[in-house]
Structure 1
Amino acid sequence: MRTIQKRQSRIGGLIVPAITVSFLAYFAIHAHSGKYGIEAKAELTRDLAVKSARLDELEDRRERLERRVQLLHDGTLERDMIDERARRALNVTTPEEIVILR
């Protein structure tokens, strides 16, 4: 009985490591620059900072508007607020007033 022995080539031993390295490279590239990668995280952090600042501005504006509405909405109306609203709605001034146009 004869056995046929095959000589192992060097290329055959490199196939599995080459496939493994290519898969690892694929996942490493996507971990760095993919949709949920490191670069995307940095961009999301910048967007979060910008939008947080915008939210703070809007909250301040809302508080100011709520205070003005509260002055008009309470049972006790402020005379200055009523006067200001009436003059603005009717577009009326007195001769001793100074008008600043915006």
Structure 2
Amino acid sequence: PDAPDEASAPRRDERRATDEAPSRRPPRRERPPEQTGGRAPVEADVSAARESLVRTLSRFSQRAENCEDPQRATEYLTAAREAAEALAALRR
């Protein structure tokens, strides 16, 4: 009866040792943006922000134009103006 347990014990230990063993490959490390040039991600972020602001400006301008409630139209125009100001700040 003891023989099967003893025979299986080393296998469990071997499995644990394999599971706990560090990988042979070193972990992959990302380079900080300043070492890779850093400009492409920033330019992509600015471009995405610019496109979003253009869409926002267009959307709220159209809503203001189609709105019959003067107070609501004013709110839409305020949002459009804020988007336009942010867009102008990005262009500087």
Q: Tell me the TM-score normalized by structure 1.
A: 0.33
> Comparing both structures, which one devotes a greater share of its residues to helix?
2
Please say which structure displays the higher CA radius of gyration.
1
Q: Tell me the TM-score normalized by structure 2.
A: 0.35
* Larger RCO: 1 or 2 (CA < 8 Å, sep 6+): 2
